Amino acid sequence: MGRSDARAPRLWAKAAWAAGLTLAADQLFYGHPGGSVAAGFTLALAVALLSTHPEIGRDRRAKAAFVVAILAALSLADRPTFVAEAFLAAGLSVAVLAGRSAPEAGLGRWAARMAFQGVAALAGPALDLAGLRRILRKRPLLRPPLLPILALPVTGAAVFLTLFAVANPVIGQVLTEIAPPEPDIWRIGYALMVLTGVWALLRPRLLPPAKGVRTAPIRPSAGVAPASIALSLGLFNALFAIENGLDIAFLWSGAPLPHGVTLAGYAHRGAYTLIATALLAGLFVLVFLRPGSDSSRRPWIRRLVVLWVAQNLVLVASSALRTADYIETYSLTRLRIAALVWMVLVALGLVLICWRLLRTKSAGWLIGVNATAAALALAGCAAVDLGAVAASWNVTHAREFGGTGAALDVCYLAQLGDSALVPLSALAASRLPPDLQGRVATVRANILDDLAARQGEWRSWTWRGQVRLDRALALAPASHPPIKACDS
């Protein structure tokens, strides 16, 4: 038996899994918002990959990636999110590729593999169909001569059935009623998209091995003289000292601002701009002070770099304080929470850049550690509903309830959807001014009805949605107040 013949049963098994999973996705997801059933679908996909890719259980990297994918699938059971779906897709892709790839590949090579996998997936089904035709031509036993046997009875039955339909109105009416419906182009396109994605995991395409790759020798600081770099670092440290001194005086110590400058304006104006400044500082160190270069070996330049990175960390801390002051003055949003997380990642990246210079670490090490930190931050954001955090904070700190924040923005709570349902229910159960009571009741009723409708459909039911609905009804019963605009 040839190699192609031996692979035929596995190819048929993968085709059966692909057809079953595509049909399941069509019934579960097409035309329905995603719910906790997504976890069941992804676990079925994981079983399919384990049964068709036994090498997953033999490779350490594949097993680790598979565990990440399973954790992402369990996260989908709680609340489907784009981040969890991205972790799931990445984990499964790495799992099926790791067992067939060189163990020494770095992060850049893995990025190339994933990109190649995504592009090659578009042509994968067509290529495998062509291969299947070649197998069938070589193995006639796999292709029974059914067409010559069925041609005469099928054609004859069709002719007689057509004549009976013309002659007998009862048969004609029955055939008219069982006529197939018009094809749904969008549904067919969705099924093809799912089939392509599933088939890409069942039959991954490997990136050809890199040949002739050589490590470039370290060059002395991109052609810049050490004296120029030292002068730049000295000047940068002086400028950063001025900015940090002003921040310490006005933001951290509470000194009075110059006439015409408010604390909110001072805080908001530089919150994100200074983060860009810190990123440029990190880029400068990466480009002009690579480990092993002439400049990086000079002690006085290294001391200036450490001082500059320390000043950048103070700058990032001041940016975080600016954002916190702005939140205190106005309100908390999901974007501002994400900005604070981003600032933490920037600070960590600066520390790692400095550590790489001092300890002569490779670029691959720096990329890998930063990517791991970013992945952990994304996983945390996927597990926590940032909208619910923002809604709870805004309600607790609203000016109407004795807080130090801004007036409650009911329209923003409406934009958050069911993430704001529990805080809105707590508001509805409390005594509020009549105007605010009406606006809160209207927004809560709309969100509650929408969530109840989604929870009533098993395809869109989620664990977190049910917990949220039960808590909201325990705080205040459902009601249908007169409609009132959220910003009236």
- Exposure on the CB side of residue 313, measured as CA atoms within 13 A: 14
- CA 39/CA 462 separation, integer angstroms: 10
Using one digit for the tens of pLDDT, what is the confidence trace for 51-78? 998 888 888 889 999 999 999 999 999 9
Neighbour count for residue 487 (Cβ, 10 Å): 9
Cα-atom radius of gyration of the chain, to the nearest Å? 31
CB-CB contact of 301 with 289 (8 Å): yes
Structure confidence at residue 399 (pLDDT): 84
Higher-pLDDT residue of 151 and 161 is 161
Structure confidence at residue 407 (pLDDT): 84
103 has pLDDT over 90 = no
Structure confidence at residue 290 (pLDDT): 76
Structure confidence at residue 18 (pLDDT): 92
pLDDT confidence tier of residue 129, bands split at 50, 70 and 90: confident
- CA 124/CA 118 separation, integer angstroms: 10
What mean pLDDT is predicted for residues 18-47?
Answer: 91
What mean pLDDT is predicted for residues 348-360?
Answer: 88
Place of tokens 């325990």: 474
Structure confidence at residue 218 (pLDDT): 46
Structure confidence at residue 145 (pLDDT): 58
pLDDT confidence tier of residue 220, bands split at 50, 70 and 90: very low
Using one digit for the tens of pLDDT, what is the confidence trace for 407-439? 899 999 999 999 999 999 999 888 888 888 899
Is residue 161 classed as helix, strand or coil in its secondary structure?
helix
Q: Whose CA is closest to 320, among 250, 267, 391?
A: 267
Q: Whose CA is closest to 391, among 456, 452, 444, 325?
A: 444
142 has pLDDT over 80 = no
132 has pLDDT over 70 = no
What mean pLDDT is predicted for residues 190-210?
Answer: 83
Write b or e for each residue in 39-49: b if 16 or more Cβ atoms lie within 10 A of its Cβ, otherwise e.
bebbbbbbebb
DSSP classification of residue 297: G
CB-CB contact of 369 with 352 (8 Å): yes
- CA 401/CA 310 separation, integer angstroms: 41
Structure confidence at residue 326 (pLDDT): 82
The residues, ordered by sequence, that sit 6+ positions from 457 with a Cβ below 8 Å of its Cβ are 32, 35
Structure confidence at residue 301 (pLDDT): 86
What mean pLDDT is predicted for residues 328-356?
Answer: 89
Q: How far apart are the first and last CA of the chain?
A: 78
Tokens of 374: 């970013």
8 has pLDDT over 80 = no
Using one digit for the tens of pLDDT, what is the confidence trace for 375-398? 999 999 888 999 999 999 999 988
Neighbour count for residue 419 (Cβ, 10 Å): 22
488 has pLDDT over 60 = yes
Indicate the length of the chain as a whole number.
488
Using one digit for the tens of pLDDT, what is the confidence trace for 275-327? 788 888 888 888 877 777 777 788 888 888 889 889 999 989 988 988 888 88
pLDDT confidence tier of residue 109, bands split at 50, 70 and 90: confident
pLDDT confidence tier of residue 471, bands split at 50, 70 and 90: very high
Strand ranges inside 344-442, DSSP E: none
- The pLDDT > 90 percentage for the chain reads 28
Structure confidence at residue 1 (pLDDT): 45
Between CA 252 and CA 260, with CA 256 as vertex, the angle to 5 degrees is 120
For the chain, give the mean pLDDT: 83
